[in-house]
Amino acid sequence: MEGYLRALFKNRISILSLIIILFVIGLAVFGPYFEKHDPLETHMAKMLRPPTAEFPFGTDALGRCVASRIIYGARTTLLAGLVAIAIGAVLGTFLGLVSGFYVGKVDNLIMRGLDVLLAFPYFLLAVVIVAALGPSLNSIMIAIGIWEMPYYARLVRGSVLSIKEKEYVEAARMVGEKDSSILMYYILPNCISPIIIMSTVYYAWAILMASTLSFLGLGVQPPAPEWGVMTAEGREYLLFAPYLLFFPALFVCLTASAFNFLGDALRDLLDPRLHMR
Amino acid sequence: MKRETLQNQEILVDIKNLILNFNTNRGQITALDGIDLKLYKNESLGLVGETGCGKSITALSIMRLIPAPPGKIVQGEIFFDGKDLLKIPETEIRRIRGGKISMIFQEPSTSLNPVFKVGDQIIEAIQLHQKLGREKGKRKTVEMLEKVGMPDPKDIINRFPHELSGGMQQRIMIAIALSSNPKLLIADEPTTALDVTTQAQILDLIKDLKKDIISSMLLITHDLGIVAEICDRVAVMYTGNIIEHAELKTLFKSPLHPYTRGLLDAIPKMNAHKKELGFIPGTLPDLMKLPEGCKFNPRCPHQMEICLKKRPGLREVKEGHFVACHLYSK
């Protein structure tokens, strides 16, 4: 474990990613205690101000503090991503475990079903689900979860196919374990590490997707602060007040990239085939 | 064990005319071609043969763990303690696996779940077959580890499998196997993956345990030396058939089947002055293209005309000494 951490810290990009991630998480968790402006409070006399000492990221068309909206928005965005991948990971892992373990009809049924999901353009799929459920934070979380589910299922199924041939699984049968216990105690714990690694990458996708859907007005509804919503609002004032679009977009971009880079670094680190040097 | 006493012994496992096929892409393979095998209570039976002759498949059939498909038991019965294992429901066979019949494997390093501490794994196995609480289970675990000669068991239970040596891992496997006081222990090449010194230690341990804990044992191996050390009776397998079985001493002193003789000749002897080691010519036949008649005929030094036509059956030549060879048919 220590060796892994040391290797992780050797890589500059992964350190930087880690710092950004910790900063954004810190912002979401502790930021509201330090921010004196309410994200919904309007200052009609101070509309569309460029960044100043009072409003570090400026104010929007209603005179709301952009910095405070970004801080509160971090909570929404990070949480939306988290719930979304939790939905995707739990459903996908379950389906992957079952279909990898019981080859044959069950496997075919599940995997072909998931192939249908994968065959949809992912954006269309999300829009269809949101349209069915009505635009809200909950529906984008569900939509993203369902969209990511097949990826998890394929990943897990692949691991299960190799793990179930291991001798300790056979040994487990020999001591009289049930199928369900074999899945829970022998197979799942041994395929958890690829799930965790992929989750960091999928989390980046989930954040991007949540912001995108909110940008399009399908997710979080104004006036609630959310990075995608803020980007959408900022778009209208691009010519007079570019900072309105710049800051929320920057945060989406930085956070998503950081998780992506971290995921790549973790994968390189834990994949023994890449340790040739 | 004397033959007279054996006959009075109760039969524990009775395999009757077991035929098992595998359907492969290339066609059907008969992995077990009519196995007849009896294992008495309190007896150690050695099952010897080359790779691919069906030793492990026999053991897996007893556990009813032949993957089906591709495997299919075409015919036969396996009686264990009077019950036909091939006919009982899945829930009951699961209670027998690890409860009444336990198994230890060739490769201890891959037979333990890498993500859990060994103590937890032993407790898990104990609790599957005995209603013991966490504390009692732990005590039993320590007790079992002491029995298999593990130094400092209280420390060992908090270790992960990769922190232990091969010999220690095999001791853990033996502890798991014996924790339920099984009526039958199947040891599938228990020392093959270990180095020679560890091998000797594990063999000593099994010999020790045979005195009080292990009641009956089926030892699968290709090493006749191990059989000589541990077993009471030996059965020799060749391409899915038992070709000879007898008491240990009888078989080693007067082997009848040319294949058994070849095997015994191929063991280096300390006191022999022969310069060259004996060997069996040819290789194991392809199970797809088995020779007509006796399956051993292309490699047999005593090949006769009848060997090319008729497959010999297993018959009792001397008392308690069974062999499948035309040389001994009258």
Region A188-215: mean pLDDT is: 90
Nearest residue to B277 (alpha-carbon basis) of B268, B289, B286: B268
Using a pLDDT cut of 90, give the percent of chain A over it.
36
Q: Is the pLDDT of residue A4 over 80?
A: no
Annotated domain spans of chain A: 76-250
Q: Is the pLDDT of residue A8 over 80?
A: no
Range of the domain at B122: 111-179
Count of domains in chain B? 2
- From B131's Cα to the closest Cα of chain A, the distance in A is 15
Instruction: Name the residue among B105, B112, B128 with its Cβ closest to that of A177.
Output: B128
Residues of chain B neighbouring A185 (CB-CB closer than 8 A): 113, 116, 124
Instruction: Name the residue among B110, B116, B125 with its Cβ closest to that of A175.
Output: B125
Tell me what pLDDT residue B135 has: 87
What is the number of CB-based contacts under 8 A between chain A and chain B?
58
Chain A contact for B89 (CB, 8 A cutoff)? no
Chain B contact for A176 (CB, 8 A cutoff)? yes
DSSP for B60-84, written as a single string:
HHHHT---TTTEEEEEEEEEETTEE
| Nearest residue in chain B measured CA to CA from A175 | B98
ipTM at complex level? 0.77
Residues of chain A neighbouring B63 (CB-CB closer than 8 A): 173-174
Q: Are residues B225 and B319 in the same domain?
A: yes
Q: Are B234 and B45 in contact (CB under 8 A)?
A: yes
Portion 39-68 of B in contact with A at CB < 8 A: 63, 65
Which residue, of B163, B179, B195, is where some domain finishes?
B179
Chain A contact for B270 (CB, 8 A cutoff)? no
Predicted structure pTM score? 0.79
Portion 113-132 of A in contact with B at CB < 8 A: none
Q: What is the bridge-based pairing of β-strands B44-48 and B216-221?
A: parallel
Q: Is the pLDDT of residue A250 over 90?
A: yes
Residues 6+ apart with CB under 8 A from B10: B40, B41
Chain centroid to CA B43: how far?
13
Mutation site, A175, A178, A196, interface B, largest B CB count within 10 A:
A175
**CATH number for B58:** 3.40.50.300
Q: Are B103 and B182 in contact (CB under 8 A)?
A: no
Q: Are residues B71 and B93 in the same domain?
A: yes
Q: Are residues B59 and B151 in the same domain?
A: no
Chain centroid to CA B8: how far?
23
Q: Are residues B123 and B171 in the same domain?
A: yes
Tell me what pLDDT residue A277 has: 41
CATH number corresponding to A76-250: 1.10.3720.10
- B82-135 pLDDT per residue, tens: 888 888 888 888 888 888 899 888 888 888 988 889 999 999 888 888 888 888
Low-confidence ranges of chain B (pLDDT < 70): 1-8, 272-275, 330
Please tell me what DSSP assigns to residue A56: T
- From B273's Cα to the closest Cα of chain A, the distance in A is 43
Q: Are residues B171 and B188 in the same domain?
A: no
Q: Are residues B59 and B192 in the same domain?
A: yes
Which residue, of B157, B179, B201, is where some domain finishes?
B179
